[in-house]
Amino acid sequence: MQIAFSNISFCQQQSYKPFNIDFNREAALFGAGAVAAVTAYAILENLKPMSVEDINLLSPSNINEFDRNAIGPYTEDHLGDALLYTSYLVPLSVVFFDATRKDIWEVALMYSEVLLIQSSINGIVKGTVQRVRPFVYDEQSPINVKQTKDARVSFFSGHTSMTAALSFFTARVASEYVSNNTIRILIWSSAALLPAITAVSRVNTHWHFPTDVMTGYVIGALIGYFIPELHTTTTSMSGNLSIYPSVNLNKPSLNFQLQF
């Protein structure tokens, strides 16, 4: 999935500068992000693969009913991988237009902060929780893929959280330059859809449980939205975003409310 900006109408006010850079704030964000990144690296480096004995002791009955249906044989998730790689490029599209090009350094800085903070938090949580992936519980999955570090970092979904972070970041930044409310709603809808498809793919290929991707979605969306929000000036014209999960055992969902 790609988010197109070719027909978007951008604000042409030359003096309009929606984002600002503050040395103290950026130093704090990058400093905290760097500490978190080193912590995540250390935790993940010390993570040990499961032994055959430990794997044989696993039982699907120990998984809650809501997540249990995600258990299945190991499968390559080509769609999820493709969407993740695409999401890295999506934010770069906003700098190819005249109205946003003058703010390229602000956008690039915020983009870097989103990448750093999102990946660091995800790494720390994965290495601390050490939740086993769904395919490890399936007898048909090859033992060699079960006995890897990656097999025990299911919570929370890195693919979903990173895709959500970058999609919502792009929408949040683009909404500062788009004057048409209909186009802005389309941008936000696209931003919400990309990580949702990623989440479904991660569950269907047995890489994650539903609670993994739901948590990843919310955390990623919040990071992607609030990093630009921290940098907005008082003349910001973007709308307000509300994100709230609706948990139903038969049909989990995430609801979004936009106000302009």
- pLDDT (tens digit per residue) in 204-235: 999 999 999 999 999 999 999 999 999 998 65
Percentage of residues in the chain having pLDDT higher than 90? 73
What's the whole-model pTM score? 0.83
| 79-131: pLDDT as tens digits | 999 999 999 999 888 877 677 788 889 999 999 999 999 999 999 999 999 99
Contact 201, 77 (CB under 8 A): yes
Q: What is the rounded CA–CA span in Å between residue 31 and residue 27?
A: 6
Asked if residue 240 has pLDDT above 60, the reply is no
Could you tell me the residue ranges of all domains in the chain? 77-259
| Coil, strand or helix at 148 | coil
Token digits of residue 198: 């990623």
Cα angle 248-253-257, degrees, rounded to a multiple of 5: 130
How many residues are recorded in the chain?
Answer: 260
Report in angstroms the alpha-carbon separations of 98 from 9, 28, 159, 178, 220.
Answer: 11, 31, 31, 13, 28
Give the pLDDT score at 93: 80
Tell whether the torsion through CA atoms of 62, 67, 68 and 74 is positive or negative. negative
Cα–Cα distance, 211 to 156 (Å, whole number): 8
